[in-house]
């Protein structure tokens, strides 16, 4: 691969980080039209809920996804999440 192509690819991948936000459990929120950083307030609240409710480690990833969904954040698969 040419150096120019590598540079362009690196810039494109780093640009994606501007549009998305990742939580400590690996969930990604946001896209080109819904910038992830606009959901920071919801993630902060959901992280507090994890601690307040003493959610077990194996359940935290899905708990945070559903919590974000309940706060109006679009997620890939809301199946099983209740309002």
How much is the pLDDT for 55? 96
Give the Cα separation of 82 and 60 in Å (integer): 16
Q: pLDDT tens digit string along 5-64?
A: 655 555 454 444 557 889 999 999 887 777 778 899 999 999 999 999 999 999 999 999
For tokens 């609240």, what's the residue? 45
Give the Cα separation of 26 and 74 in Å (integer): 16
How much is the pLDDT for 15? 46
3-class SS of residue 21:
strand
């Amino acid at each position: 691969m040419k150096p120019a192509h590598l540079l362009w690819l690196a810039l494109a991948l780093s640009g994606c980080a501007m549009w998305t936000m990742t939580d400590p459990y690996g969930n990604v929120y946001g896209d080109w039209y819904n910038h992830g950083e606009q959901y920071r307030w919801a993630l902060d609240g959901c992280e507090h809920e994890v601690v307040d409710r003493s959610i077990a480690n194996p359940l935290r990833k899905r708990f945070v996804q559903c919590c974000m969904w309940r706060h109006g954040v679009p997620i890939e698969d809301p199946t099983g999440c209740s309002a």
